[in-house]
Amino acid sequence: MVLFRDKDSQRLHVDSRLMGESLVSQSFIENLKYDVKQFRSFPDVSVIKIGGQSITDLGARGVLPVIQEIAENAGKHRMIVSTGGGTRSRHIYAIAMELGMPVGIISKLGQSVSEQNALMISTLLNPYGGIKVGHDDIPKLGGYFAQGCTPVIHGMPPYGFWEHPPQEGSIPPNRTDVGAFLLAEVIGARQCVYIKDEDGLYTDNPKKNPEVEFIPRIGAGELIDMNLDDIIVERPVLEIMLKARSIHEIQIINGLKPGLITRALQGEHVGTIIFKDR
């Protein structure tokens, strides 16, 4: 390591490309290119996000078949299961907004609901190696996988009190779909699969509008440009995907149809694939 003293400021510097830079210069950031491929800790792991409202809120009818299929694949595929919030999070959002809570408080409230679902899902997976983990346990994943565990984590990303204010309203823009994607990105996962109660993406919400078209495959940028009124995945996921280094696509599948989780884990296209197109 080379140290030297700046003649003008008398600061002691470490010789590096970032030396003395403010890190807010646009021209500097644009030219700061390291020809190093991003390290991927777990390129063989699949992040599986279980929808809160779409699966967990259905109770035994929706949850138990999903648990069984995950258990059947636990010995064949390494997975991290991420959980959504669902109807209870919407309830707490409504109360908090009526009370004028800041978005950071609302984000923390939503996290607690997602964590409740993680506790239930991990308990059901206990006989098959399921273990509930938190955000601080990410560095321990290697140990959990070495022991044959299937980690279960709550999906709300850890922005918490520091959640970004939304463009409109007070609902946290970065919720459990975002958390699952960011988890897959940071560990360099093999894939990120969202388990919902629909076959995938449609041109509108099929529960409210029967005159919809199924979209089997689409680019994230193209989907953003379409500006659909309602989509099946949180919109910030699309923006983040366009900047991602490891995860270049996601798949949305219907967890109520037996066998689709297994086929998705095997790499089959069985729902809607949204991919990085810019």
4-37 per-position pLDDT tens digit:
676 677 777 676 777 666 778 877 777 777 667 8
Domain positions in the chain are 1-32, 45-275
> How many alpha carbons fall within 13 Å on the CB side of residue 33?
4
User: What is the tens place of the pLDDT at every residue in 174-205?
Assistant: 999 999 999 999 999 999 999 999 999 999 99
What confidence score (pLDDT) does residue 139 get? 97
Beta carbons within 8 Å of 227's beta carbon, 6+ residues apart: none
What confidence score (pLDDT) does residue 22 get? 72
Whether the predicted pLDDT of 108 surpasses 90: yes
CATH homologous superfamily of 45-275 equals Acetylglutamate kinase-like (3.40.1160.10)
Whether the predicted pLDDT of 1 surpasses 60: no
What confidence score (pLDDT) does residue 278 get? 87
What confidence score (pLDDT) does residue 25 get? 80
Percent of the chain at pLDDT exceeding 90: 86
CB 232 within 8 A of CB 198: yes
Quick one: how far is CA 16 from the chain centroid? 34
* 252-256: average pLDDT: 98
The model's pTM is 0.92
Q: Which helix (H) or strand (E) holds 219?
A: strand 217-219
Query: What tokens were used for 220?
Result: 């994230």
User: What is the tens place of the pLDDT at every residue in 164-175?
Assistant: 999 999 999 999
Beta carbons within 8 Å of 195's beta carbon, 6+ residues apart: 48, 49, 50, 51, 54, 55, 66, 253, 255, 261
Better pLDDT: 114 or 21: 114
CB 216 within 8 A of CB 249: no
What confidence score (pLDDT) does residue 28 get? 77
The mean-pLDDT minimum among 35-39, 55-59, 60-64, 105-109 falls in 35-39
What confidence score (pLDDT) does residue 15 get? 67
The alpha-helical segments, DSSP class H, found in 99-210 are: 103-125, 141-146, 176-187
* 216-244: average pLDDT: 97
